[in-house]
Amino acid sequence: MSDYCTSLCGFESCSWNPDSLHHLPVHPLWQSPLTIPGGTRQSPINIQWRDSVYDPFLKPLKISYDPATCLHIWNNGYSFLVEFDDSTDRSIIDGGPLENQYRLKQFHFHWGAINDWGSEHTVDCKFYPAELHLVHWNAVVYPTFEEAVMEGDGLAVIGVFLKLGARHEGLQTLVDALPAVKHKDTVIEFDVFDPSCLMPSCPDYWTYAGSLTTPPLTESVTWIIKKQPIEVDEDQLEAFRMLLFTSDGEEEKRMVDNFRPLQPLMNRTVRSSFQSRHLLNAEEQPKDHAEQMRP
Ligand SMILES: [Zn+2]
């Protein structure tokens, strides 16, 4: 893993501690190679800020969620999924890099055992302690979610980084419900929730063509990664870590480190919806990047 990242970006530009890399945990799902034969657009990736390309034709992302379409929370043994009624176009996104609207199916998170890692994507090799994924499918072109999963333009996933800071009031409603889905395969009703409360205020995003980060790993995802993280507090991350990978009656295994390792960028370009001063001033003002990393 450490050699891999060195080849990606070099440690000089990495903000993580190389020592911690050797201890970066790998979920059992990823301990033996699991690949898509000939895969060329796998996820997650490291987003190298200076290599992303500003695309002035990228539109603002438009989000329109109906809180009443929220159905339930399900511990699936890898994360917890907040699932929505996707039988009609009541909770949708469009704009951004998308050619038509996409319907919200579910959202979930990935997180670490400690705050030093947990996100799937990284920015300039920096991990965040957690990452939110809002999964949408192209119901204009495909009749079912299952069919959309198999197609290159089938899915659109919004990724939002979580950083340690103030308690997130919108997230707390969800956190309060988590003890009821502690064990694998438990489901509870969760009637009304508006996930747009989990969206950062800044409209800036990166976008690239990628894949699901859990099996079947199909290369069907238009990724939209928000530049600005949202803040959550330590107690809220700890509530995630109290969940279990295991069913009731099994030896308890904490649900932590449920992220896929980074995948090679290969022949892909990450586009940004925003102009990067970092790019223009990288040589002259090395401090500029730190400025921009602040929300
Ligand atoms: Zn995910």
SS (H, E, C) 105-149: EEEEEEECCCCCCCCCCEECCECCCEEEEEEEECCCCCCCHHHHC
Taking the centre of ligand 1 as the mean of its atom positions, its distance from the CA of residue 106, in whole angstroms, is 10
pLDDT of residue 31: 83
Taking the centre of ligand 1 as the mean of its atom positions, its distance from the CA of residue 205, in whole angstroms, is 17
Taking the centre of ligand 1 as the mean of its atom positions, its distance from the CA of residue 197, in whole angstroms, is 18
Q: What is the mean pLDDT of residues 225-244?
A: 98
Using a CB cutoff of 5 Å, list residues around ligand 1, an ion: 133
**Non-local CB neighbours of 132 within 8 Å, separated by 6+ positions:** 107, 108, 109, 158, 159, 160, 161, 162, 198, 230
Q: 276 falls in which pLDDT band (50, 70, 90)?
A: confident
**Residue 160 has which token pair?**
């939002």
**Residue 125 has which token pair?**
């090799």
Taking the centre of ligand 1 as the mean of its atom positions, its distance from the CA of residue 52, in whole angstroms, is 22
**Non-local CB neighbours of 122 within 8 Å, separated by 6+ positions:** 44, 46, 47, 262
pLDDT of residue 37: 75
On the CB side of 247, CA atoms within 13 Å amount to 2
Q: 22 falls in which pLDDT band (50, 70, 90)?
A: low
Taking the centre of ligand 1 as the mean of its atom positions, its distance from the CA of residue 284, in whole angstroms, is 37
Q: What is the mean pLDDT of residues 14-23?
A: 50
Asked if residue 97 has pLDDT above 60, the reply is yes
Mean pLDDT of the residues in the chain: 89
Closest among 134, 64, 66 to 95, alpha carbons compared: 64
pLDDT 10s digits, 55-76: 999 999 999 999 999 999 999 9
Amino acid at 92: I
Taking the centre of ligand 1 as the mean of its atom positions, its distance from the CA of residue 214, in whole angstroms, is 7
pLDDT of residue 278: 56
Q: What is residue 163's three-state secondary structure?
A: strand
Taking the centre of ligand 1 as the mean of its atom positions, its distance from the CA of residue 292, in whole angstroms, is 25
- DSSP letter string over 235-281? HHHHHHHTSBSSPTTSPP-B-----PPP----S---EESS--HHHHH
Taking the centre of ligand 1 as the mean of its atom positions, its distance from the CA of residue 286, in whole angstroms, is 32
Q: What is residue 197's three-state secondary structure?
A: helix
Q: How many domains does the chain have?
A: 1
Per cent of the chain over pLDDT 70 is 86
Taking the centre of ligand 1 as the mean of its atom positions, its distance from the CA of residue 109, in whole angstroms, is 6
For residue 143, give its domain range: 2-293
CATH number for the domain including 33?
3.10.200.10
User: Please, is 233 exposed, middle or buried when counting C-beta atoms within 10 Å of its C-beta (0-12, 13-18, 19+)?
Assistant: middle
pLDDT 10s digits, 128-155: 999 999 999 999 999 999 999 999 999 9
